[in-house]
Amino acid sequence: MHSSAPQRRSGLLRALAVATAALLCLIPWADTAAAHGSTIDPMSRNYSCWKRWGNDFQNPDMANQDPMCWQAWQDNPNAMWNWNGLYRDGVNNNHQAAIPDGQLCSGGLAEGGRYRSMDTVGAWEATNIASSSDFTVQVHDAALHGATYYQIYVTKQGFDPATQALKWSDLELVRTTGAYAPGEGTPSTEPQLGGVTVSIDASAPGRTGRHMVYTIWRAGHMDQTYYLCSDVIFG
């Protein structure tokens, strides 16, 4: 006929736990301690959105100023908070078998589709590359995984990332590195990064205009592979 004080307290605690869990999904860097790495120059799509809007991600002006990031934030904010967690385990170097055409930027809908908005076709914000061919990719290794190798691909001339979904046949492999030991690279001084940054020189002659740089990072500590899309403008 009446509820006890312990029952009321139990209900309140359950409600508080649910509210806290929901809030943690919207806190910047809430899960970065468990994250790993990404390309930071040219910036991967989700790192770029986090870098520009992480402190202002609910600003409605983003819809007009940066519509591709806007759709990404609306789809799943954790794709940006976890910008350094876009990877798949157990691929065993069979990248094209594991990642279907049209899903290259999400790592084949990695992490239950968390990063699916990275596959959305459109005019993403792009990094300008002054050269018509030579460039450097900087991969940030926050967890000091090292690498079995890095592979750098660039889209072929004539591909338009603003109107076309990325397929394996659109890419040209322009650089494959050797192994990197855990911790090898330049230590980062940026507080939100930590870890080290690896710089990889590459060349893609004959490119002009909009392109995509696609980086595959096979980690050195286990069969764990990162798939990273960066938008660039050559020349």
Q: Which two tokens stand for residue 177?
A: 């590195």
59 within a domain of the structure (yes/no): yes
Q: Is residue 162 part of a domain?
A: yes
Residue 118: inside a domain? yes
Tell me if 77 is assigned to some domain: yes
Which residues touch 124 (CB under 8 Å, ≥6 apart)? 45, 48, 68, 69, 161, 231
Which pLDDT belongs to residue 35?
A: 55
What's residue 131's pLDDT?
A: 81
Q: Please give the average pLDDT of every successive group of 10 residues along the chain, which has 235 residues.
A: 47 40 39 70 97 95 98 98 96 98 98 98 96 92 96 97 97 98 91 90 95 98 97 94
Number of domain units in the chain: 1
Domain annotation covers residue 13: no
215: Cβ–Cβ under 8 A, 6 or more apart, which residues?
Answer: 39, 44, 137, 139, 150, 151, 152, 153, 226, 227, 228, 230
Range 73-77 contact pairs with CB under 8 angstroms and sequence separation of 24 or more = 73/49, 75/116, 75/117, 76/114, 76/115, 76/116, 76/117, 77/25, 77/26
- 18 part of a folded domain: no
CATH number of the domain encompassing residue 121: 2.70.50.50
**Amino acid 11: pLDDT:** 46
Residue 155, number of CB atoms within 10 A of its CB: 23
The answer to whether position 64 is within a domain reads: yes
For residue 73, which amino acid is it? W
Domain limits for position 137: 33-234
What local confidence, expressed as pLDDT, does residue 57 receive?
Answer: 95
**Residue 4, in any domain of the structure:** no
In degrees, rounded to 5, the angle at the alpha carbon of residue 103 between the alpha carbons of residues 97 and 108 is: 55
